[in-house]
Structure 1
């Protein structure tokens, strides 16, 4: 700092040369300069100490303000940390619930897939059974048609046999009648023949006796 800072009104800083004794003047000047130098040094040290205290106070105030700001920031960070921790906890709970739900959904999906597979197998079995039943029905219908045709043919054969039997019975009856008639006629013929032989025998005998006399 300049020694002339506290004496701005004195342009020569108090070192005015008068027309007196030059040695006395120089001594006064030296003394005055020494006093001013000491005063300036004391002032400078006091000013430095005051400035140092002010700087320290300012630094302390800044440190306190910074500490308060850091504390407020720490409180904000603590609140944010707590909020994030709670959100993480909630997210973990949701994750657990969704995982459990997903596991349940997977089980339901597996059960539904197994049920669908079993239903598909049952449907395939039913389709095969229906196909076999349709084939059996076709075979049964064909067999029924064949049996009906065979029955009709046999009915025709039975009817023909009945007609044949009836015809043969009529022919048999007619033959019996004819046989009986023929038998009676043969019997009559035999009787007539026997009678004719007997008569012829008698007649021959009768004829033989007279004939002997003519011989």
Structure 2
């Protein structure tokens, strides 16, 4: 915003300076030209002032056309009578960029206004109303040319203001992008710090897990040793079980045999007892029979 205001103020100051310079040139030129014409009229009372003005105007137009053509884009080879081109004297400003064209138009307008003012002073001294009207019209045309130059300058200013606005938009966009990049960088730094803290925590956990793993490996080794011992004990127990099983089977076989022998012995004893009892009964009955027969 500061650059924008400063540029407008600079342009306005430049226009004011140009206007003041044109005004001073017109006044100085009018005074000098009036002085010389007045002297010439005093020396030559029968002098035709209108003819002087016409000759002066033609000389001015041709001189301006020749000078502008030499300093412009290519120019013309001579004055208005050169015959090298059919363009009017004012058409030399149709080439070049807008800034040079506007400056040339402004200079041409200043020259036209000065010439018109000089001739108007001379015509005023000659009391020619027609010449005054023509010179006023000439000054009006010069003012219009100056307005056209001002419009060209205004277009240049507007174009520069538009470019300035676009540049400011680009600067604002770059600033926003810079702020976004800074925020992303800060977020990345925070993320990196968090990741570093997590890495330290993971290292602590890794060390703890390594200690636990070593303890578990020691326990596993102890369990392996204990398993080997218990395996040996199991093998010994299995062998002892096999031995006891064989002894048990042998004892059961002996028991069965002994049981059968005992059963047979018991049966034989019962049978022998029964036989003894029968024998005893037989003996008693025979004894009784013999005693009863003896009594008879």
Length-normalised TM-score, structure 1: 0.43
> Which of these two proteins has the greater Rg computed from alpha carbons?
1
Q: TM-score, normalised by structure 2?
A: 0.33
